[in-house]
Amino acid sequence: MLKFVKNHLESITGIEIYPLISLLIFFLFFVALFWWVVTAKKDYIDTVSNLPLDNKND
């Protein structure tokens, strides 16, 4: 089964760019997420972390 899929994918021209694009998207997402966590304001983090404990009914 894997041999059939591998041979089929090798016959498609330009297919080798898709793993590189997906790795780049994955890497950029986690770099952006890390940057957001590092630069997040302490007040915002405290507010969001206390939301599950908030008993106010709005």
Distance of CA 46 to the CA centre of its chain: 24
Residue 16's pLDDT is: 83
Contacts 24+ apart (CB under 8 A), 40-44: none
Q: Which two tokens stand for residue 19?
A: 């793993």
Give the model confidence (pLDDT) of 17-52 as tens digits.
988 999 999 999 999 999 999 999 999 988 888 888
Binning pLDDT at 50, 70 and 90, where does residue 57 land? low
Write down the pTM of the prediction: 0.60
* Alpha-carbon span 20 to 15, nearest angstrom: 10
Does position 1 have pLDDT exceeding 70, yes or no? Answer: no
Residue 24's pLDDT is: 97
Residue 33's pLDDT is: 96
